[in-house]
Amino acid sequence: MPDNSIYILIHSPLVGPLTWTLVADQMRQKNIDVVVPTLIDSADSEIPFWKQHAKSVSQALAHIPVNTPLTLVAHSGAGPLLPVIRESLANPVNAYVFVDAGIPRDGATRLDLMKIEDPEWADQFQEELERGERFPTWSVDDLRAVIPGELLRKQMVTEIRPRGLSFFTESIPVFGGWPDAACVYIQFSAPYKQPAAQARGAGWPTYELEAGHFHMLVDPMTVTDLIIEAVDKLN
């Protein structure tokens, strides 16, 4: 990886930047430049969520010289956003890293991707959204199994962004020629077995840690080392 590249750690739009805070701290201790942008949106806006999120990332990175390469790292629901985020940036992209994340598919909605991964669950989930329910609505106790630290669980709950049907049914584009840089997939949890298999089938380097979905908040050192090692092996 180029010595002057910067890691951009992107959280799912269902939660907040806490997801990547501990990994970012680990990277800084290794003298690696890192930015954790916050995905910002308004449900009242006529602008699609994905476009609002891409804009918020590009604005957060506006201070970075355009000739500086970036390594884009996405967790969970940030995965499908990587192509639109990339299009919003003038910088070259060194690599894309998917961490327990969905893989983009041109024109697919988030619900479409869920139906590919787990059709039965996704159909039930759609019915709940159509009844007006929102997701996620996790409590501190709900997250106990995946985030053992009580303080981190409480912080995570304060950042949760429950979403309704319109969020999960918006179509997210993928530009022609994507991916325009090497891709890596890191699987933590069982629900992401299908995207990991898809990545492996596409010839992407694929790694697996048997862990919970928010393992970066449980063992940030191991996750940091794995991300860095995986990206270094691309070059």
3-state secondary structure of 179: coil
Q: Please state the pTM of the whole predicted model.
A: 0.96
pLDDT, tens digit (0-9, with 9 covering 90-100), for 169-185: 999 999 999 999 999 99
Other Cβ atoms closer than 10 A to 15: 21
CA distance 40 to 57: 9
Mean pLDDT of 20-43: 97
pLDDT of residue 35: 98
pLDDT in tens, 198-210: 999 999 999 999 9
Q: What is the pLDDT of residue 4?
A: 67
> Would residue 31 count as lying in a domain?
yes
Give domain status of residue 17, yes or no. Answer: yes
The verdict on residue 164 lying in a domain is no
Is the CA virtual torsion 213, 216, 217, 222 positive or negative? Answer: positive
CA atoms within 13 A on the CB side of 55: 9
pLDDT at 2 over 60: no
Whether residue 71 contacts residue 24, with contact meaning beta carbons closer than 8 Å, is answered with no
- Residue 89 in any domain: the answer is yes
Is pLDDT at 165 greater than 70 in this prediction?
yes
pLDDT of 222 > 90? The answer is: yes
Q: Each residue of 184-199: pLDDT tens digit?
A: 999 999 999 999 999 9
Question: Are the C-beta atoms of 99 and 74 separated by less than 8 Å?
Answer: yes
Structural domain that includes position 41 = 6-109+173-232
In a domain, 139, yes or no: no
pLDDT band at 235 (very low <50, low <70, confident <90, very high): confident
Is 118 inside any structural domain? no
Read off the tokens for 104. Answer: 């983009």
pLDDT of residue 3: 55
Joined together, the tokens standing for residue 87 give 């299009």
| pLDDT recorded at residue 43 | 86
Q: Tell me how many domains the chain contains.
A: 1
* Measured distance CA(110)–CA(91) in Å, rounded: 27
For residue 45, give the CATH number of its domain: 3.40.50.1820
**Averaged pLDDT for residues 156-173:** 97
Asked if residues 103 and 128 have their Cβ atoms less than 8 Å apart, the reply is no
pLDDT, tens digit (0-9, with 9 covering 90-100), for 116-151: 888 999 999 999 999 999 999 999 999 999 999 999
Q: Which residues contact 23 (CB under 8 A, 6 or more apart)?
A: 9, 216, 220, 223, 224, 227
pLDDT at 1 over 50: no
In tens, the pLDDT along 45-101 reads 999 999 999 999 999 999 999 999 999 999 999 999 999 999 999 999 999 999 999
Q: How far apart are the first and last CA of the chain?
A: 6
- Average pLDDT on 104-114 reads 96
**E strands present in 114-205:** 182-187
